[in-house]
Amino acid sequence: MAKVAFIGLGVMGYPMAGHLKTRGGHDVTVYNRTTAKAEKWAKEFDGGFAKTPKDAATDCDFVFSCVGNDDDLRSVTTGPDGAFHGLKKGAVFIDNTTASAEVARELHAAAGEKGCAFIDAPVSGGQAGAENGALTVMCGGDQEAFDKARPVIECFAKFVGLMGDVGAGQLTKMVNQICIAGLLQGLSEAIHFAKKADLDVERVIAAIRGGAAQSWQMENRWETMSAGKFDHGFAVDWMRKDLGICLKTANDTGARLPVTALVDQFYAEVQAMGGKRWDTSSLIARLENADKT
């Protein structure tokens, strides 16, 4: 059993912290900006809660974070009352936020000055993956720190891999989001085309799902996409944040992402339609909305 802190109890962090307690049997203290949510978690999982990230992290062996963006991450780590001010020497900080590789490298350096390790460890699998403890975790950092943290991370994961040096986890997550954006746009166009051609969408999917067109998105989203239901958790707002990171990094590295840039603008149109909190499969709504205008 280790002493663990978890900072950020959103739709992902809340169940992830729970698995650290129930599966791992760790001594877990949580922090959330809304104290009532931290209190609720502590009561549900028989854990502790703290009023600042610093207090949560004090004397912990491992500290996890899962917050919104780079600025949120800096706030809960190196900001006033941030977790880094409470880290003990030898602790490992694991960040599950989808953020930039730059902030990961920045915080790795800051942790090193305190004699601590930092691992960027963004996750994939969505709200359902977090609740089921079946996330994919893509890590960047030192091998020694990864080996130390891996058994703890595995409490909420089905796959945990070291992608390379610090920042490599975030870069791998960018690859993941680029793939998802293109797949969802293609699936949206395919379902839209099938409907316009007066085909039975269910029969079409049954015919093609066993071949080269098959994907996780097809298996898990075609039916709700066809029905116009977009309540699977990972919001368009979040995807646009992620794609913004991808596009900035592409600009910095010289990579060309023409399809990703186009799909990002399509998501902006979905936002303008009122779909900010719809899930990412809602790209099809943009195509169907065009029929009404």
**Which residues are known to be catalytic?**
173
CB-based contacts of 199, cutoff 8 Å, min separation 6: none
- The Cα–Cα gap between 288 and 293 comes to 9
Helices (H), the chain: 13-22, 35-45, 53-57, 70-77, 101-113, 126-132, 143-153, 168-196, 201-208, 216-227, 236-253, 258-272, 283-290
- The Cα–Cα gap between 28 and 62 comes to 10
In sign, the C-alpha dihedral spanning 170, 175, 176, 180 is positive
The dihedral formed by the CA atoms of 160, 166, 169 and 175, expressed in degrees to the nearest 10: -150
- The Cα–Cα gap between 147 and 108 comes to 16
Q: Quick one: DSSP state of residue 156?
A: G
